[in-house]
Structure 1
């Protein structure tokens, strides 16, 4: 479980295909605190640390993960959001995040609001995910509040701190992002569907 509060940024240092898998090596300032078998969210995707070498560590993404996330678009030197799993008893500053990406979305607009930014994203509504205004959404692992919600589109406001300490500062129109919709909302939607 995660909170969606990005702990650190990482830099992709190597990408190695191995059949249908992708081994992703990352350089980060939290590497020396990691251990093998530990879960770390990478752009919101929970992956297991399989190797550590000085300031770099490696995780493996399988075909299922690559098909459903933006990890298949990674390039060496890309910046990714990182968060270690939360500790029992810690504050939950964001919201409950599983590290299981529901689908990807595309950044369609970025508005500079004179001190903050409004980012708009579109997603495939046929997958039955949804947002609500003032509800939670996770974008590339970052816990955010929806400020505008339509059937297949939503917007979030980004403050300067979030902009500087996440990979939002690298987004452009057309950037593909990982979306994890609010887990409580997903359960409510599923219960309504079964009625």
Structure 2
């Protein structure tokens, strides 16, 4: 996922009725403040009342838009995931002509670097090491998680760089590469060799066996 920027949904335009324009602006403010608070203290410690105060909106307005705190968390992760996946796709496309191992290395390197520099991901993974953060499940177990989308992106690139490999095996390799990367993000390795190289070589070897 990349560093937080104002949300990617379409901005309000002069054609939007005032009510719709207000809702869009309110949603953006809520997600910005939720991102900031979660980055500082972890999602478990975020309170809707504090988000409302910082965003300058009422709690009923937030509940009407998002349902509950979990709804805010879901929207926040979806927004960050979209930004992350957009960047991942670009990186994979750039490396595609250099072969399978280059694609895998580029993808893992991008994921690790984004995880290291994104304050929200750092907060989530740090809390996850203590099994306390409730935002992490949205990355892996909810419908259409970033995990599944990242795996599908990688499998699609492997289809183009290793078309001779059976489709099922390409999917398995993509799955393993993503799982290893997520594991390294949550529990960083201590090996001297770069993690991206280790994961890429392991996945490449699996692809060729």
TM-score bracket relative to the smaller structure: under 0.3
Bigger CA radius of gyration: 2
Task: Return the structure number with greater strand share.
Answer: 1
TM-score for the superposition, normalised by structure 1? 0.23
TM-score for the superposition, normalised by structure 2? 0.22
